[in-house]
Amino acid sequence: MAAPMPNKKKGARVAGPAGKMMPGEKADDFKGTLLKLVKYMAPYKFRLIVVFTFAILSTVFSIISPTVLGAATDVVVKGLMVGHVDYSALLYILMILLAMYVASFFFGTVQGWIMADVSQSIVYKFRDQMSKKMDRLPLKYFDGMTHGEIQSRMINDIETVNQSLSVSITQMITSFATLIGIIVMMLRISLIMTLMALMIVPLSMIVIKVVVGRSQKYFKNQQKYLGNVNGHVEEMYTGHIIIKAFNREEESEKVFNEYNDKLCESAWKSQFFSSFMMPITALIGNASYVCVCLLGGYLAIKGRISIGNIQAFIQYVRSFNHPIQQVANVANQLQSTAAAAERIFSLIEEEEEVDIDAEPKVKVALEDVKGEVSFEHVSFGYKDDEPVINDFSFTARPGQTVAIVGPTGAGKTTLVKLMMRFYELNGGKISVDGNDITDLSRTNLREMFGMVLQDTWLTSSSIRENIRYGRPDASDEEVEAAAKAAYVDHFIRTQSQGYDTLINEEGTNISQGQKQLLTIARAILSEAPIMILDEATSSVDTRTEAMIQQAMDNMTAGRTTFVIAHRLSTIKNADHILVLNHGDIVEQGSHEELLEKDGFYAQLYNSQFADM
């Protein structure tokens, strides 16, 4: 069996090397996206006016310089012809030339500095808006997006916009100004030589269009196969233990080589066509340059143009190709920028959770929470046509421990998500102490709950800060007391730095069971009036489970607790057990009552202990 193929979401964007956008990518609404981007730049209009002015001034001084240098050449040539060079006039012209170079450098440097500040300010605003937006988006948004797509928008797309704002805009200004200025200066020197030089423009544009058209499909293939390679590498890295366990290294390498070969072929062709543009346009430019030199020599012999003007004109011709290529490159970059900005705006404009910023109708102080949780005819489905929870009704009394059991897909974890209002109900309502949870702010509601999930999540910080995540204002003594209650204090103190031991980014320097214990300590520290335990002991051994169960009993005393469990041995002492199947309560009661009924729960329980 070959290694699994990477899952790729249809239409997902794949970044190129170093996070750059791949050429050929276009926005769906190019004009509309650029208009939105312009609105973000509006608060900086005065600085942008300075940037545009300074960019043009820098270009103007740069363009005039060859003409001034040509005048210096004429002074030298005239002096040699008459046997005496006017050094004072030559020095004067050279001083003017030096001043122009310095002015061009000054204006170019200042406009670059201001534009960098503007671009970083806009990018800062994007990052800030996107970060805040992430906190306000409903979970259903993340259900439809891969982590890679979200990271790409937060990192690669923003960097693409940043590069375009800080470099491409000023390049576009200076390129157009340079083109116009060069044409004006060439016309000032000679109309016929200018017409000769301008013959290169349509020919260069045709070549650029042909090359870009031919290379675009190869760039798209490169983007596709790069995504395959990245996906395969990520998949093989995360599953390297399984690959080694089943001796699938050769198959994995075979799949990688197939993707890599295709990527190499498409990348070679795309890079060849891309690099082919420069020498072909240079060839056309050199042909034009030769023609101009021959024509200039003829005109000089006829006395219709000076040698200094020929020198200046040749410099203009040599400089003429560069802004044309820059305009073409910037135009292509703007396509990628619009595509990146479009994805940024789509995230910023995404529909938020309902009334997340609205003033709540009810404010409940945590010390007043009794812990009664009521479900009244609740119905819900992640998709409208696929219900997960049907007409569900139940009331958990204050201080009661309610276990929720059932087969996979029965809706157990979904109930927890609905209680926390991670999703909006399709019908019915959920109340806490008689207050509809939609009347509470999400912050107020979620402060009432402490959670321990099956999938542990820890930050790349110290053990102490990970436990304190449940209550940021907790003292070190309270953190250590919570760790002792979760039976993880001894393990922590065996570490070289104790509670200050850093957990690495992947969390690989501690075991899965130890991670679970830390999340339990975090929940204990939160002192929430309602607790949710979703397979909280699934990653610990039997001995540790017994200790954790005792800690849980201490933690949940006097608190309303919802326990989701597949290991039914952990819920024998629950006050009430709800047995779910296909989103409905099929049975409920205590452990003994449900066994006596010899129904669905008894079948689940007996199946786990049939061989014991």
Q: What is the pLDDT of residues 113-124, one digit of tens each?
A: 888 888 888 888
- Residue 232 tokens read as 């395969």
Structure tokens at 444: 């107020």
Q: Is residue 493 part of a domain?
A: no
What is the model's pLDDT at position 161?
85
The three state secondary structure string of 65-125 is HHHHHHHHHHHHHHHHHHCCCCHHHHHHHHHHHHHHHHHHHHHHHHHHHHHHHHHHHHHHH
Calculate mean pLDDT across residues 416-431. Answer: 87
pLDDT of residue 8 exceeding 70, the answer is no
Q: Over range 475-496, report the average pLDDT.
A: 87
Beta bridge partners of 589: 577
What would the mean pLDDT of 5-15 be, rounded to a whole number? 39
The answer to whether the beta carbons of residues 210 and 280 sit under 8 Å apart is: no
Q: Is residue 56 part of a domain?
A: yes
Instruction: With a cut of 80, say whether residue 509 has pLDDT above it.
Output: no
Q: Does 393 reside within a domain? A: yes
What would the mean pLDDT of 223-228 be, rounded to a whole number?
Answer: 70
Q: What is the pLDDT of residue 215?
A: 66
Task: Please report whether residue 14 resides in a domain.
Answer: no
Nearest to 482 by CA among 546, 540, 558, 555: 555
pLDDT for res 327:
73
> CATH number, domain at 104?
1.20.1560.10
Q: What is the pTM of this model?
A: 0.64
User: Which of 244-248, 444-448, 577-581 has the lowest average pLDDT?
Assistant: 244-248
Per-residue tokens: 501: 């031991």
Strand partners, 392: 378
Same domain, residue pair 46 and 107? yes
Q: How far apart are CA 524 and CA 511, in angstroms?
A: 20
Residue 542 in any domain: the answer is no
Please tell me whether residues 270 and 327 are part of one structural domain.
Answer: no
The pLDDT of residue 612: 46
* Residue 417 pLDDT: 85
> Would residue 506 count as lying in a domain?
no
CATH number at residue 405: 3.40.50.300
- Check pLDDT > 80 for residue 590: yes
Q: What is the pLDDT of residue 147?
A: 67
Domain membership flag for residue 522: no
Residues 57 and 76 in one domain: yes
Kindly state whether residues 93 and 103 are assigned to the same domain: yes
DSSP E strands, 183-303: none
Q: In what order do the strands lie in the sheet with 427-432?
A: 389-396, 373-380, 427-432, 435-436
Arithmetic mean of pLDDT, 399-410:
82
Query: What domain range is 105 assigned to?
Result: 29-189+323-351
End-of-domain residue from the set 271, 304, 337: 304
3-class secondary structure, 530: strand
* Residues 236, 137 share a domain: no
Query: What is the percentage of the chain residues whose pLDDT exceeds 70?
Result: 83
Strand partners, 374: 395, 431
Greatest CA separation for the chain = 125
Is the distance from CB of 578 to CB of 585 less than 8 angstroms?
yes
Bridge partners, 376 (sequence order): 429
Residue 286 pLDDT grade (very low, low, confident, very high; cuts 50, 70, 90): confident
Tally of domains within the chain = 3
- Indicate whether 347 pLDDT > 80: yes
Amino acid at 192: I
> Mean pLDDT throughout 513-525?
84
3-state secondary structure of 4: coil
Q: Tell me what the pLDDT averaged over the chain comes to.
A: 78
pLDDT beyond 60 at 5: no
Of residues 358 and 254, more confidently modeled = 254
| Cβ neighbours, 10 Å, residue 549 | 15
pLDDT band at residue 611 using 50, 70 and 90 as cut-offs:
very low
179 and 140 both lie in a single domain: yes
pLDDT at 357 over 60: no
Listed ranges 73-82, 335-344, 443-452; the one with the highest mean pLDDT:
443-452
Res 278: pLDDT: 67
Q: Once rounded to an integer, what is the mean pLDDT over residues 555-564?
A: 81
Residue 486 included in any domain: no
Q: Are residues 141 and 251 in the same domain?
A: no
Q: Do 44 and 177 share a domain, yes or no?
A: yes
pLDDT tens readout for residues 153-202: 788 788 888 888 877 777 778 888 888 888 888 888 888 888 877 777 77
Q: Give the C-alpha separation, 562 to 168, whole Å.
A: 56
Q: Are residues 55 and 181 part of one domain?
A: yes
What's the Cα-to-Cα distance from 356 to each of 57, 137, 185, 334, rounded to whole Å?
Answer: 50, 9, 61, 36
Tens-digit pLDDT profile for residues 31-56: 788 888 888 888 888 988 898 888 88
Residue 94 has pLDDT above 70, yes or no: yes
Q: Measuring CA to CA, which residue among 184, 212, 216, 214 is closest to residue 197?
A: 184
Closest residue by Cα to residue 559 from 401, 399, 433, 396 = 399
How would residue 430 be classed by pLDDT, with cut points 50, 70 and 90? very high
Q: Do 577 and 444 share a structural domain?
A: yes
> Are residues 199 and 182 located together in one domain of the fold?
no
pLDDT at 355: 54
- Shared domain for 179 and 195, answered yes or no, is no
